[in-house]
C-alpha cells in the first residue's frame, strides 16, 4: 500500500506513547488496525519518546503496510504526558483514544469506549470515557501500590474514578487541549475534565500481561511523584472558576 494520508480527517486518532517498546509496537499496530478497520475512520499516532532501542525503526518500517500509521518522534525524552500531548497536537481526528505502548491495554476494547460515547442519551458535555481495568495482570506489589494510590487520589480529588492509571481512554481532542498541561497530567484526566465542567463516563476493560520488555516505573518512584502531583491538582481544582454558558451577544 502507498504511504499516504487521506485528505479527509479520520474520526478517531489512536495516540500511543512509546519508549523502548520495540518488542511490543509491531503487534500493537496490527491489533489497532484490525480492530478499527471497517468500524471507524482512524489513524494510529505512535509517539516515540526518544527510544534508545529499535522502536522507531520498527514503526517506520510498518508505515508502508499500514497507511493509517503515523510516527512522531521526540528529540529528547520528555515522559508519557509529553508524548500524549504531542500525539494529540499532531492528531487530525476530533476523537482521541489513548492506550499504553506496552501492549497491556487491549485495542479490542476500543469499540466499548466508542459505544458509550455514541449512545443516544449521552450528555452533550460528557467529554471523557475512561477505561477501568477489571482484572489487573500485574504483580501483587504493583496492584497494592496502585490500590493505595487510587484510594488517596479519590479521597482528595473526588474524581469519581476507580482506576485513573488505565491508559485506555477516549476523549474529545478540543476538550483535552483546554486542560492545563504538566508532567504526569495523563494520570489525572478525570479530575482535570471535571475541573473544566465536563462530565465523564467509565467502562470496564481488560488488561493483559506485558508482552516484552520491562516497566518504566517503580512503585516507590511512582508514589513519590504522585504525592506532589495530587496536591498540585487539588490546588488547580480549588482555583477553577467556571463562567457557565458563554455566548456572543
User: What is the pLDDT, as a whole number, of residue 165?
Assistant: 84
User: Any idea which residue has 479530575 for its cell?
Assistant: 191
Phi/psi at 226 (nearest 5 deg)? -65, -35
- Domain membership of residue 5 (yes or no) is no
Give 144-192 pLDDT, tens digit per residue: 556 656 666 666 677 778 788 899 999 999 999 999 999 999 999 999 9
10: alpha, beta or left? (left if phi > 0; alpha if psi -120 to 50): beta
End-to-end CA distance of the chain: 51
- Name the more confident of 48 and 3: 48
- Domain membership of residue 247 (yes or no) is no
Cα–Cα distance for residue pair 26/200, rounded to 1 Å = 32
Q: How many domains is the chain partitioned into structurally?
A: 1
For residue 133, give its domain range: 12-238
- Domain membership of residue 67 (yes or no) is yes
Contact residues for 228 (Cβ-Cβ < 8 A; gap 6+) = none
What angle do helix axes 219-238 and 140-157 make, rounded to 10 degrees?
Answer: 10
Mean pLDDT across 194-215? 87
- Name the more confident of 189 and 228: 189
Give pTM, 2 decimals. Answer: 0.85
- Domain membership of residue 7 (yes or no) is no
- Domain membership of residue 83 (yes or no) is yes
Give 62-97 pLDDT, tens digit per residue: 999 999 999 999 999 999 999 999 999 999 999 999
- Domain membership of residue 42 (yes or no) is yes
Q: Kindly report the average pLDDT of the chain as a whole number.
A: 87
- Domain membership of residue 139 (yes or no) is yes
User: What is the pLDDT, as a whole number, of residue 140?
Assistant: 52
- Domain membership of residue 180 (yes or no) is yes
User: Is 51 strand, coil or helix?
Assistant: coil
Q: What is the CATH number of the domain that holds 199?
A: 3.90.550.10
Assigned C-alpha cell, 114? 466508542
Amino acid at each position: 500500500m502507498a504511504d499516504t494520508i487521506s485528505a479527509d480527517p479520520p474520526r478517531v486518532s489512536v495516540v500511543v506513547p512509546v519508549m523502548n517498546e520495540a518488542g511490543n509496537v509491531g503487534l500493537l499496530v496490527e491489533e489497532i488496525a484490525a480492530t478499527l478497520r471497517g468500524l471507524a475512520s482512524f489513524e494510529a499516532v505512535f509517539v516515540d519518546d526518544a527510544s534508545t532501542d529499535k522502536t522507531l525503526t520498527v514503526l517506520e518500517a510498518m508505515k508502508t503496510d499500514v497507511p493509517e500509521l503515523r510516527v512522531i518522534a521526540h528529540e529528547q525524552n520528555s515522559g508519557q504526558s509529553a508524548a500524549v500531548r504531542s500525539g494529540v497536537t499532531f492528531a487530525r481526528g476530533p476523537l482521541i483514544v489513548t492506550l499504553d505502548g506496552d501492549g497491556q491495554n487491549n485495542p479490542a476494547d476500543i469499540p466499548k469506549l466508542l459505544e458509550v460515547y455514541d449512545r443516544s442519551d449521552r450528555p452533550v458535555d460528557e467529554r471523557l470515557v475512561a477505561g477501568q481495568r477489571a482484572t489487573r495482570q500485574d504483580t501483587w506489589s504493583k496492584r497494592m501500590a496502585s490500590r493505595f494510590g487510587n484510594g488517596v487520589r479519590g479521597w482528595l480529588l473526588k474524581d469519581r474514578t476507580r482506576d485513573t492509571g488505565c491508559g485506555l481512554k477516549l476523549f474529545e481532542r478540543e476538550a483535552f487541549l483546554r486542560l492545563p498541561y504538566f508532567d504526569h497530567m495523563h494520570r489525572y484526566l478525570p479530575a482535570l475534565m471535571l475541573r473544566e465542567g465536563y462530565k465523564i463516563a467509565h467502562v470496564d476493560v481488560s488488561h493483559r500481561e506485558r508482552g516484552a520488555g520491562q516497566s518504566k516505573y517503580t512503585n516507590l518512584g511512582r508514589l513519590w511523584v504522585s504525592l506532589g502531583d495530587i496536591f498540585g491538582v487539588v490546588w488547580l481544582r480549588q482555583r477553577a472558576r467556571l463562567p457557565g454558558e458563554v455566548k456572543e451577544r
